[in-house]
Structure 1
Amino acid sequence: MNVEHGFTRRRLLELGALGTRFAGLARVRAADPPVAIAPKRTIRSCILVFFYGGPSHLDTFDPKPNAPAEVRGEYRTIGTAVPGVRVSEHLPRMARVLDRVALVRGLHHPMRNHNSAAAEALTGRTPAGGDQELLADDPRGIPTLGSAVSFALGARAGSLPYVALPYTIYNVVQLPGQTPGLLGGAFDRFQVTGDPNAPDFRIAAFENATELGARAELLRGLDRSALPGPVAQAAVSRDRAVRLLANPDVRRLFDIHKEPQRVRDRYGRHLLGQSLLLARRLVEGGVNFVTAFDGRTNGQDANWDSHEKLFPRHRQLIPPADQALSALIEDLGARGLLDSTLVLALSEFGRTPKINGSAGRDHWPDCYTALVAGGGVTGGAVLGSSDKIGAYPATDPVTPADLAATVFWRFGIDPATEVRDQTARPFRLSEGEPVRTLFGG
């Protein structure tokens, strides 16, 4: 094949791969059409806020003020907008909006290491590799929730269905649970890498759109029958990807600098605050699923893994989360987006009830708390309870599989829908049951 302008076979394959990644071209199929179990009002979008490292549920949303000091910890508690429900003193903003939030206080699963626990939380499925400290991604594994939703929405998915920001999480290896797994690159995330709070924040992919467009035009002029198989198959996908990156409406979604200063200040002029503001812009513009990670792994003090000095570290980490998450809930409500947007905030696990000798708490997946807002949730609800020291669910236990099933259900997708991969291996979107009691309809 004679290719001019420096276009090699490798560059053609790379461009084809880009198109496959962003276009949503199905590489698996649903074995049966989804069952019509949709709620009365389905959601359009979901924002998943993931606090990597494991915040202490006992020192945030499930305090035990009457427990012994070695369990209770250093923080005081405060009242909230929901009578009888108390939270940490470092959550004053969330306390004021708790009447718009449901607390799930009996979340639990069996994975005790960061990587395996993250895979469980982000996919709603126990990883096939079991509970490993440095479990790596399996390209044939269960997809991350955003990718699964993108696939299951089918024709209802937007032109940019799934965005993750502001970085990819690594714990020596890439933290599992962030990729499309067996669904393939067609349902991968559009990954934003960068600090939306930075003055020079930009999306490099958009700046390369002109070059990509020129290359796409060159490919269109070539004899398709002469192209390598993978490139020819990805031609339509590639063209869609180029159009997406060149679309000024899509580019504007990421232009956070257009936001008024007072709005940016309300979210907080920090990484998490501006990431959640960007997430709001994305769902307002039609993106179906956004995952926002909090807890960088390039510095031990930057995430929630507090085996020692938990109380001073959480004093630094809780206030930005309190500011950003409460601002997101208020802003979605003010813009009329809260009913159509489900906000799910969780981590891979909680922390041990007993404070250790280094004044920290260790990994504890046996019971912790998740937050749900919007999407028709009953504000002020508290589902389940932990025992007297926050060690195990006392009532209404919930698993990550149940939360995943809830997300599918709110989108109008049957969680039991069976999907087959390229080898015809079947799996259900979720093995859990939707937590219907949290929603009015």
Structure 2
Amino acid sequence: MSRHTAEFCDGISRRSVVKAGLTGLMGLSLPEILRLKAHAAEGGRSKQDTAIIFLELAGGPAQHETYDPKPHAPSEYRGPLSPISTAVPGVQFSEFMKEQARVLDKMAIIRSIHHDSGSHGTSSHLTQTGYYLRDRQNRENEMPSIGCITSKVRGSNADGIPAYVSLPRDMRYGRAAWLGKGYNPFITARDADAKNFTVPNLTLLRGLTAERLQDRKALLKGFDATREIIDNNGIGDAIDQYTKEAFEMVSGDSARNAFDLSQEDPKTRDRYGRTAFGQNILLARRLVEHGVTVASVRVTGPSWDDHRDLVKRMRDKGIPYDRAFAALVEDLHERGLDKQVMVVAMGEFGRTPKFNRTAGRDHWGRVMSVALAGGGIKTGQVIGASDDQGGTPADAPYRPENVLAMLYRHLGIDPATTFPDHSGRPRYILERRELITELI
């Protein structure tokens, strides 16, 4: 199976991931999505304006070639890349992470995240929802992702703005499950470095101006009396407050301005890198600045599923990722957003401590590294450690659920909150809710 057909070794194609994301978005009209989102306010909406950016390193990055090099290990464990110094004395990163090494004083790295799965699907579901995927063949969420939970509980931080946006498509298990499709992410469906980048769902049809749209809105309003006669049970969904909100999102300026990267200084765009990684991550920063509560970026292409030719594949993606992440960290500080916005970069697992016969590393859930920034956490530190070969936690073992608990804490959401699933069973947002105390 070619690289263009399948992105991961389990055979999940990019096309199927995109299709799953579009199904979640296009399966409902915009008014229906807004209608379902309305329940978020009924339970008392948080007044916080905090936000998160979730960088999904899809495929599972190698800890050795990113944040946890092992320069003193035998060569088959160490790998061919060199360690480099960071802004924190005594801490080293791998050589392709030089920009993040420079800003480590504004970041925190956890080198001891672990879990028990080596499956892309099971592990992705865990890192994005806090629960293992029970059926490894299931392509849909069995539990809601953090973005969908946040969309329901918090909503967006500004009117006319989606609460949860995924760039360029949703995370592998970034959807709402039984919470309802109305809480699925708003997706851009294309990379932000595309020429003349626009978001289709926010663009008026050719020939349909805002004035003409308002005329149609007025025409629909004229049918209100008829609707009220026909729909005396209040079930009608054609013309109601959510349809009006849909008109405002499409015809208003708030969402369109938030997604308009052309308003960014060209120097800022250069700073992030004129790559898909760079422009998607820049757009994520722009979105949270304009009121989006959760922005996820699928940082892949090639994926981090590096079973072979790891060094070449790391050079292709590691360098632009490193540049964009470091730019984001500095940009948040310069804009005074470093307390408001928390950033996490996390894949579904790490890679085997020993190189394989095809110059790559295989799936390894027993230890992985996770990078965080912003959110008022204690930075300039490395938390935990892996053993001498980078195979298991040696100090301060934590799990992906602990990372999610920190994100929920930042968002002001109690992970002990429960929601009924399809069977009516109350389900906790997280069953394991311990915080990473070193970050507080």
TM-score of the aligned structures, taking structure 1 as reference length: 0.85
Counterpart selection for 1:64 from 59, 70, 78: 70
1:435 paired residue number: 435
User: Counterpart amino acid of 1:295?
Assistant: T
Distance 1:274 1:56 in 2: 24
- Counterpart mapping for 1:14-413 below 5 A: 17-22=29-34, 25-26=37-38, 44-129=50-135, 132=136, 134-138=137-141, 141-153=142-154, 159-168=161-170, 175=172, 177-208=173-204, 217-220=218-221, 221=223, 223-225=226-228, 226=230, 231-232=236-237, 235-296=240-301, 302-413=302-413
1:4 paired residue number: none
2:419 paired residue number: 419
The answer as to whether partners of 1:342 and 1:373 remain within 8 angstroms in 2 is: yes
The alpha-carbon deviation at position 388 of structure 1 amounts to: 1.2
User: Counterpart amino acid of 2:92?
Assistant: R
Distance 1:150 1:16, change over 3 A: closer
SS at the partner of 2:296? strand
The answer as to whether partners of 1:384 and 1:394 remain within 8 angstroms in 2 is: yes
Distance 1:295 1:155 in 2: 26
Distance 2:108 2:425 in 1: 37
The alpha-carbon deviation at position 335 of structure 1 amounts to: 0.3
The alpha-carbon deviation at position 162 of structure 1 amounts to: 0.8
SS at the partner of 2:197? coil
The alpha-carbon deviation at position 429 of structure 1 amounts to: 1.1
SS at the partner of 2:154? helix
The answer as to whether partners of 1:28 and 1:183 remain within 8 angstroms in 2 is: no
User: Counterpart amino acid of 1:118?
Assistant: S
The alpha-carbon deviation at position 201 of structure 1 amounts to: 0.6
Distance 1:320 1:148, change over 3 A: same
Distance 2:401 2:101 in 1: 28
SS at the partner of 1:59? coil
The alpha-carbon deviation at position 420 of structure 1 amounts to: 2.1
User: Counterpart amino acid of 2:182?
Assistant: A
Distance 2:138 2:261 in 1: 35
User: Counterpart amino acid of 2:281?
Assistant: L
The alpha-carbon deviation at position 87 of structure 1 amounts to: 0.3
Distance 2:196 2:158 in 1: 31
User: Counterpart amino acid of 1:420?
Assistant: P
Range with greater deviation from structure 2 (318-327 or 212-221): 212-221
The answer as to whether partners of 2:285 and 2:328 remain within 8 angstroms in 1 is: yes
The alpha-carbon deviation at position 206 of structure 1 amounts to: 1.8
The answer as to whether partners of 1:120 and 1:400 remain within 8 angstroms in 2 is: yes
Deviations 1:358-404 (A, max 9, x none): 11100111100111100011111222111111111112222121111
Distance 1:372 1:251, change over 3 A: same
SS at the partner of 1:373? strand
User: Counterpart amino acid of 2:293?
Assistant: N
The answer as to whether partners of 2:33 and 2:182 remain within 8 angstroms in 1 is: yes
User: Counterpart amino acid of 2:93?
Assistant: V
1:8 paired residue number: none
Unaligned residue ranges in structure 2 (runs of 5+): 1-25
TM-score of the aligned structures, taking structure 2 as reference length: 0.85
Unaligned residue ranges in structure 1 (runs of 5+): 1-13, 170-174, 297-301
Distance 2:75 2:239 in 1: 61
Aligned length: 405
Q: What percentage of aligned pairs have identical amino acids?
A: 35
The answer as to whether partners of 2:107 and 2:381 remain within 8 angstroms in 1 is: yes
The alpha-carbon deviation at position 217 of structure 1 amounts to: 4.8
